[in-house]
A and B are shown apart, each in its own frame.
Chain A
C-alpha cells in the first residue's frame, strides 16, 4: 500500500530523502566550510603542476574547477605551473607564508611538512565513501615521526618501459629486453645494427630522476633505508648500478642523452631516435595523437628485472598540500575531498595516465586497460594492470621523508649517475660523493627537528 501524501514523513520517506541527499552530494562537509557556504563568494587559489596531457588541465580548469566553484559559491583560480618550476614556486610560497591555498605536486612534498596542515581529516572524510588510502598513497604522504599526513594523494602514474617493437625484434627481442642485462646487450646490438641508441634519461630532469631511482631500486640500493638512515653507499649496489649505467651508455647510448632537458627522452622517442625509454604513458598518448604509425610500434612492458626484482617508482604521485597559511583552507580541503568523487573523470581526461589511489573509484580499470580506445592494438596497455604491485613510493623502502624528497628534488641521483657516465668521477667516488650530499641533507633535517 502506498503512503498517504498528507501524512508526516514515514521512515521510508526519510530513507528516500536521505538517499536522494546522498546521491546529489556533497557527501561530507568540513564543519567550517558548512557554516561559510551561504556567505559571500570566496576564492580558492590552486597551484597545479602542468599535466603532460594538456586536455586534462583544460578539463580541470574549465570544467572541474568551475563546477566545484559554482556548487560552493567560490571563485576557483587555477595556476598551471611547469613541472620544472614546481619546487621553486612551492619553496617561495612556503618561505613567504603566502600564495595559493592548495598546491598540487607531482611528487610527495615531504619537505613542507611544517608548512602544511595535517591532511588526515581529508583521508578520513574520503574513506567513508571510497575506502582507505592505499599503500602507495599512504607511504607517499604520511610522516611516521609526527604521525601526520603532510599531503593528500589522489592519483599516480606508473613508469613502465616503452620500446619500439620493430627495433627490438631486429635483435630477436620482440617482447622487449625484460631485464637490465638484455637492455644492455640488446641495446648494444640495436645501436650496432640500426644506429639507434638506447634512450634512458640521464641528465637531471623528472624523467631521469624516475628512471634512475627505478634502476637504483632494481639493483637493490636505496637513498635511505626503512628507518630513514642514509644507505646510498652502504654496500656495493649503488656502485654496481653506476657501473652498469656507465657500461650501458658506452655500449648502447648516445651523447645527446647527456644534454636532454625536460621530456628530452619523450621527444627522442617520438622522433624514433631511440629504441626505448622509461616514462609515463603520456609519451604513448602523445604519439597516438601526433603520429599513430609511430604509436603502433611502441610497446609497453613492466619495469626491467634487476637483482632486487621488478621494481619502479611512480612517474608522478599526485600529492596535494593545503598550506597552513592558506586563506581558504576549508575550501581547499573540501575541494580535495570532492576531487576523489571525480577520480573516474581524472582517469578519463588524463587519457589513462592517472591511476586512482582509491581503487574503488575506477572499478573497471583492468577492463579499460585491456580494451583501450586509443591503443593499437587495444590490449597494449594491459601491461600496466599490475603496476601497483611493482611500483614503490619515493623514499622506498621507507616513507617519502624530507631527506629522500630533498635529494630527489635536488637531483642527487641523476647528478651522481652523470658524473660517473661522463667520467668526471669513478663510480666509487660518485657514490661516495652523492652519499655525502644526502648525509648533509639528513643532518640539516635532523638539526631542524
Chain B
C-alpha cells in the first residue's frame, strides 16, 4: 500500500513543473463548484468526492469550545467571513473565502475557505502533505472565555500541545540578517526580525504542522483530530541564531547548514529549509539519537546552536498571533481541496514556489483527489500528456 505521508516520488520536480503547466491549462475552467464537478473525457476530475471542503466554524461551536466570539470578530483576529476576503494569502484575482450554502455540518457556517495553506507533516518524513485553512488569529488570552469545553478541558491547554512552526524572514530588504526575534522571544539584541505577522509574504519557508501528536504513542495527552476540535495551534517561531547563519556563523553551523541545504533546498533568506522536528531540534543543540542531516559527519549537535525557537507572550505583549485557528484537512483527498481552492505557500519574487513538492501535491489533490504518489499509471500518463 502506498503511504500518503511519503514525499513526492523521485522526479517530483519534473512532475510538479508539468503539473504547474497543467494548472495553467485548466485554471480558467476550474471555477466549478467542488460538489458539482463533472468527469472529463481524459480522466481528469473523475474521482469520487466524499471529503467536504473546509468551512469556518459557527459561533455556537466556538463558544462551546471556550472562544469568546465577540473578541474573535474583531479586526485583530481577522476571521475569515468578516475580514481578509482579499489580500494575502490571496493574490490578484483570488479571494480567500466565499459564501457557500452547501455546508451541511452543524458545527460550521457558510463561509467556505479557498485559501489552502500547505506545509510539512510532522511525522519525521518532512513530506509536503499537510494542508490547512487559516481561519483566524488569536492574539492573547482574552480570546478564551476561560470556560472549559464539554469535556471539562480548557482549550488553551489542548492547543499548547499542537505546534505550528512558522519561519519568519530574517533577512530584511537591505540584505541585513537578524539572528534573534524582536519581542519577548528574542535576546534583546539588534537587529531583530519582527514577529507581528505570520502572513505568507513575511515567511522565509513553508510551515510545519504537528498534527500527528496523540496520546497513543505518548507524544501528547491529546490527539489533534480527536481533541483539538477547533484545529487550533500555538505558533512556534523558529529561526537561525546569529551563530547559525549570517556574518557570525560558526564553522560548525556552516558545515551543517550546507549539508541540510543540499538535502532540503533553500529558503528565501538563502538559509536551508527545515522540514522535520529532528532537523530543527538537532540544530537547536538537542541530542536526537541519530544525525538527521545526511552528509554531515558526527552525531553531536552544534554548540553553540544554529537555530532557536519560541512562542509569543500569551498576554499579547509581542503584538502578533499567539495561536492560530486553522484546522488541518483531516484527509485532503477526494474533494477536500475544491476546484476553486488556491494554494497558499511561500514563493520567490518571481512567483515560483520555493517547494514544488507542496505545489505538486496540491495540484494532484485538486485535480485527481489524491496525493501525487497515489495516482494510477493512467492518471500519471494523463498528467504527463497534459503537461506536454
Contact = CB atoms under 8 A, between A and B. Distances in A.
Interface of A: 171-175, 177-179, 181-182, 184-186, 189, 220-222, 225, 231, 234-237, 239-240, 301-302, 305, 307-310, 370, 379, 382-383, 385-386, 389-390
B148 A178 contact: no
Contacts of A186: 313-315
Contact of A182 (B154, B184, B219): B184
A172 B315 contact: yes
Q: Which of A181, A237, A379 has the most CB of B within 10 A?
A: A181
Contacts of B197: none
A307 B281 contact: yes
Contacts of A308: 281, 286
Q: Which of A178, A186, A225 has the most CB of B within 10 A?
A: A178
Interface of B: 140-142, 144, 146, 148, 152-154, 156-157, 160-161, 184-185, 215, 218-222, 234, 281, 284-287, 300-305, 308-318
A302 B157 contact: yes
Given A172-B142, A184-B184, A237 B284 contact: yes
Given A182-B184, A307-B309, A171 B234 contact: no
Given A171-B315, A305-B160, A379-B152, A236 B305 contact: yes
A225 B287 contact: yes
Contact of B146 (A175, A189, A235, A383): A175
A184 B310 CA distance: 12
A173 B141 contact: yes
Contacts of B161: 305, 309-310
A295 to B, nearest CB: 18
Given A175-B141, A310-B161, A389 B221 contact: yes
A179 B312 CA distance: 9
A239 B301 CA distance: 13
Given A173-B315, A182-B314, A237 B286 contact: yes
Contacts of B285: 220, 235-237, 239-240
A314 B221 CA distance: 16
Contacts of B284: 220, 236-237, 240, 307
B287 A234 contact: yes
B214 to A, nearest CB: 10
A187 B286 CA distance: 27
Contact of A239 (B157, B185, B300, B303): B303
A415 B318 CA distance: 33
Contacts of A385: 152-153
Contacts of B141: 172-175
A196 B234 CA distance: 28
B222 A185 contact: no
A237 B285 CA distance: 6
B140 A172 contact: yes
B303 A236 contact: yes
Contacts of B287: 222, 225, 231, 234-235, 237
A382 to B, nearest CB: 5
Given A236-B305, A307-B284, A383-B157, A179 B152 contact: no
A179 B314 contact: yes
Contacts of B302: 235-236
Nearest to A172: B315
B70 to A, nearest CB: 16
Contacts of A178: 156, 160, 234, 314
The 8 closest A-B pairs by CB, nearest first: A236-B285, A386-B221, A389-B221, A185-B184, A172-B315, A220-B286, A235-B301, A235-B285
